[in-house]
Amino acid sequence: MKEIGPRIDEKKFRQIGRRELLKLTPVLALGAFAIPSWQEGLLKKGLGFSDWAAARFFRPGHSAPTFDDADVAPFEKFPINGYDVEDPGVDLGNWTLTVSGEVKKPGEYKLSQVQALPLVRQNTRHVCVEGWDVIGRFGGARLSDFLKLVGADTTARFITLNCADDYYESLDMATALHPQTLLCYEMYDQPLTREHGAPLRLNIPTKVGYKQAKYLTDLKVTHVLDRVGYWEDQGYSWFYGL
Amino acid sequence: MRGEVIEIVREMPAATVPRAPKDTTDTKENVAGMDEAKVKATDEVATEAESTVEVDAAGDDLSRSASERTAMPDGAISGEDKGDEQVDQEPSDVARAAYEHPFIVRLCHWINLVALFVMVGSGLQIFRAFPSFGAKIPQKDLLHWPKAFAIGGWLGGALQWHLTFMWIYMATGVLYLGYQILSGNYRQVLFTHRDVHGVWPMVRHYFFFGPRPQAREAYNPLQKQAYTSAIGLGVLSVATGFAVWKPVQFSWLAWMMGGFHYARIWHFAVMWAILFFVLGHLIMVILHGWNNFVSMLTGWKKDPEY
């Protein structure tokens, strides 16, 4: 049985109760999110903070899990995803990658030049922002090798990319230099099919699916992010490292 | 201050005879932390300065002589042991109140009520983007969750809410856990082996019309089990969330859960477990009345059962 302590009058008790209740007013600060004109700005800041924290978690030396051939989904089960058309009608015969920006050797690069770089094949998990995932088999040149080839300034912060279907994306340099980030021209040991981004796409196992742009046409090395990304401009996360 | 029990009396009528100073009673002192003097509700007192009746004042009440402080004997109701001065006072005018919930506990409770609501709502909207735990090809949806009961409107919006409020949710959880551990307040609510035998009698009482076990402490064994589990589920919601958000950087965590694909299932399952807890919690709050509810607002529970 608890010791019965001191005694106060009811008015005092109510005063104490009110004061204790008032101490909780900071909770009302959350109400800021309910104000329509403030909502967008607050959420944008929140997402920006999340992106900043996400970049802190990135470890350049840490690899995404790779899988045995037995774990790889059959080619027909690897979804085709895009934002516009599945086949933007790339002229494969005359295709080049236009390289510009902070590079010593800008200009047009043929697919054969990319294919001349060491080939890396990897079985990795592709994660879509929608929530599904699929393990696929990808092959290509390390983006870091290609950046060396074009004499890129790797102290620059960003790579921006344009695509044949008018999709566009950008990468942080740390991810661009990651050994698993590929300029991918093969899937399942075959050249990319049109729907999967022929002739060249990004394969980045440390990033969410929508950052792995297909049908690449332009690559720029830059200190400044002038164009961020198609889905980012709709309100999605920019960094989205897995 | 947590655990402090006080008495509340209605304001004394004007006819109350002012008391002569009393000897301090022989019984035990107040529990630790209550060294300040509380003043009886006499006219004299009513005219005293506010500061002399602060419940949580740090120091002694300097305007009252030591002899006027009294400690109530165990189990005494007002009117007894007081001698002639208290003869007018009716015991029924006295209520007791216990200080059950410290400020930080209450603050975290209400913040995370909002945060959890947003996390669940936005999480369900995210789920709607791919309401399946199987392959994409062919897609077989598990259940259709209505947009009206989700937050965010679309996947992009929902992710903004989810990735913003998760920081509030986590920070509040850390604050709560830190406070509970460092203050020792966790003891009143943590489920331990000593509570195991008390669970069934509570379950029998709540669900099978068994007798009401005597309340000895602020939280009964079933409550302790529920609240301890709830915190565990909160931690799991964060762990599974990190595995889903960053399955590469937290690949060890994801691996423990069976990989990204399974971590997503666990994350979903933990949410339902938390919702089940919330449902039970709300029912119990409603059943246990206004005074109990108010205790999570002011900290004080009037007429505690123990």
Q: Which has more confidence, B31 or A155?
A: A155
Phi, psi (deg, nearest 5) at residue B171: -65, -40
Contact at CB, B76 and A3, closer than 8 angstroms: no
pLDDT confidence of residue A141:
98
Domain shared by A195 and A100, yes or no: yes
Domain shared by A217 and A117, yes or no: yes
Range of the domain at A13: 7-57
Q: Is residue B40's pLDDT more than 80?
A: no
DSSP conformation class of A102: S
Whether B286 has its CB under 8 Å from any CB of chain A: the answer is no
A:B CB pairs within 8 Å: 204
Q: Using an 8 Å CB-CB cutoff, list chain A residues near B114.
A: 27, 30
Whether A22 has its CB under 8 Å from any CB of chain B: the answer is no
Domain shared by A146 and A85, yes or no: yes
The residue from A23, A40, A57 where one domain ends is A57
Residue A241 included in any domain: no
pLDDT confidence of residue B14:
52
Residue A162 included in any domain: yes
Q: What is the pLDDT of residues B121-136, one digit of tens each?
A: 999 999 999 999 999 9
What's the sign of the alpha-carbon dihedral B25, B26, B32, B35?
positive
pLDDT confidence of residue B6:
87
What is the value of pTM for the model shown?
Answer: 0.83
Segments making up each domain of chain B, as ranges: 1-99, 103-302
Distance in angstroms (rounded) separating the CA atoms of residues A83 and A137: 22
pLDDT in tens, chain A (242 residues): 344 468 888 888 999 999 999 999 999 999 999 999 999 999 999 999 999 999 999 999 999 999 999 999 999 999 998 888 889 999 999 999 999 999 999 999 999 999 999 999 999 999 999 999 999 999 999 999 999 999 999 999 999 999 999 999 999 999 999 999 999 999 999 999 999 999 999 999 999 999 999 999 999 999 999 889 999 999 999 999 99
Residue B2 token pair: 């947590």
Residue A99 included in any domain: yes
The residue from A37, A57, A77 where one domain ends is A57
Q: Best interface-test mutation with A: which of B1, B16, B116, B136 has the largest number of A CBs within 10 A?
A: B136
pLDDT confidence of residue B43:
39
- The residue of chain A nearest to residue B134, with distances taken between CA atoms, is A132
The alpha helices in A110-189, defined as continuous H runs, are 111-115, 143-149, 173-176
Residue A33 included in any domain: yes
A47-86 residues touching B, CB cutoff 8 A: 47, 49-50, 53-54, 57-59, 62-65, 73, 76-79
Q: Is residue B118's pLDDT more than 50?
A: yes
Q: Is residue B54's pLDDT more than 60?
A: no
Distance in angstroms (rounded) separating the CA atoms of residues A240 and A53: 10
Domain shared by A73 and A189, yes or no: yes
Contact at CB, A50 and B255, closer than 8 angstroms: no
Q: What CATH number belongs to B103-302?
A: 1.20.950.20
pLDDT confidence of residue B229:
97
In what helix (H) or strand (E) does residue A185 lie, and over which residues does it extend?
strand A182-187
Distance in angstroms (rounded) separating the CA atoms of residues A203 and B281: 47
- B231 and B185 in contact (C-beta within 8 Å)? no
Contact at CB, B5 and A26, closer than 8 angstroms: no
pLDDT confidence of residue A7:
85
Q: What is the pLDDT of residues B245-301, one digit of tens each?
A: 999 999 999 999 999 999 999 999 999 999 999 999 999 999 999 999 999 999 999
Q: Among residues A195, A241, A162, A6, which one has the least CA distance to residue A88?
A: A195
Domain count across chain A: 2
- SS3 label, residue A124: strand
**B12 pLDDT tier (thresholds 50, 70, 90):** low
Residue A238 included in any domain: no
pLDDT confidence of residue B304:
86
Domain shared by A113 and A228, yes or no: yes
Contact at CB, A7 and B78, closer than 8 angstroms: yes
Residue A125 included in any domain: yes
> Environment class of residue A211 by beta-carbon count within 10 Å: exposed (0-12), middle (13-18) or buried (19+)?
buried
Domain shared by A36 and A73, yes or no: no
A75-134 residues touching B, CB cutoff 8 A: 76-79, 125, 127-134
Contact at CB, A125 and B260, closer than 8 angstroms: yes
Domain shared by A97 and A165, yes or no: yes
Domain shared by A90 and A40, yes or no: no
- A225 and A171 in contact (C-beta within 8 Å)? no
Residue A141 included in any domain: yes
pLDDT confidence of residue B62:
39
pLDDT confidence of residue B23:
47
- What angle in degrees, to the nearest 10, is found between the helix axes of A36-57 and B155-183? 70
- A97 and A146 in contact (C-beta within 8 Å)? no
CATH no. for residue A115?
Answer: 3.90.420.10
pLDDT confidence of residue B18:
54
Distance in angstroms (rounded) separating the CA atoms of residues B132 and B142: 5
pLDDT confidence of residue A134:
97
Domain shared by A182 and A209, yes or no: yes
**B73 pLDDT tier (thresholds 50, 70, 90):** very low
Distance in angstroms (rounded) separating the CA atoms of residues B186 and B177: 8
How many angstroms separate the Cα of B87 from the Cα of each of A4, A7, B25, B80, B82? 19, 17, 18, 9, 8
Domain shared by A53 and A147, yes or no: no
Q: Is residue B29's pLDDT more than 80?
A: no
Domain shared by A122 and A222, yes or no: yes
**B93 pLDDT tier (thresholds 50, 70, 90):** confident
Domain shared by A16 and A53, yes or no: yes
**Lowest-pLDDT range of B4-18, B146-160, B194-208:** B4-18
pLDDT confidence of residue B182:
97
- SS3 label, residue B225: helix
